[in-house]
Amino acid sequence: MWAAVDCQPPALTTPPCAASNPGCKGTEEAGGGSRSDFDGTGNHRIDFFYTVNVPAEALFLDEIEKAASVNKNFKAHISYSSQDGRLSVPKIVEASGPVSGKDIYMCGPFGMVMAFREAFIEQGAKADNIHYEEFNFR
């Protein structure tokens, strides 16, 4: 899962994320955003990428779609690898724009996260700006 977050909302002079990352303009996992980013009251631009193999595996799809419907700044990119092919860094860049100068937050199986990390670096992201949480299937 990934989401691109523009931490420079037009209505604010100081980005809300400045305390943790001064001047950030980033790509951030949904868990890193505030609740207001999902309920329609936030000012962040979020491109949220969520991929599973088949629609039946898409947990929390109702919540993701609701966030997209109530927040004009939240764009959900739902993909099913069985239909759309695997999510890739080029697909993310195509939808969200260049990754240089952004923070990237990811979660997923370790091997996938490491492969995406390297691909993001090749696309211009700084290694220090790439953050991840891993999970594995049992």
| pLDDT tens digits along 5-40 | 444 333 333 333 333 333 333 344 333 455 566 666
Q: Give pLDDT, residue 40.
A: 65
Please tell me the pTM assigned to this model: 0.69
Q: Give pLDDT, residue 37.
A: 60
Pair 33, 74: CB distance under 8 Å: no
What is the distance of C-alpha 118 from the center of its chain?
A: 17
Q: Give pLDDT, residue 99.
A: 87
pLDDT category at 116 given cuts 50, 70, 90 is very high
Half-sphere exposure of 15 (CA within 13 A, CB side): 18
Q: Which domains does the chain have, with CATH numbers?
A: 2-134 (3.40.50.80)
Q: Give pLDDT, residue 45.
A: 72
| pLDDT tens digits along 63-104 | 989 988 988 888 899 999 999 999 999 999 998 889 887 778
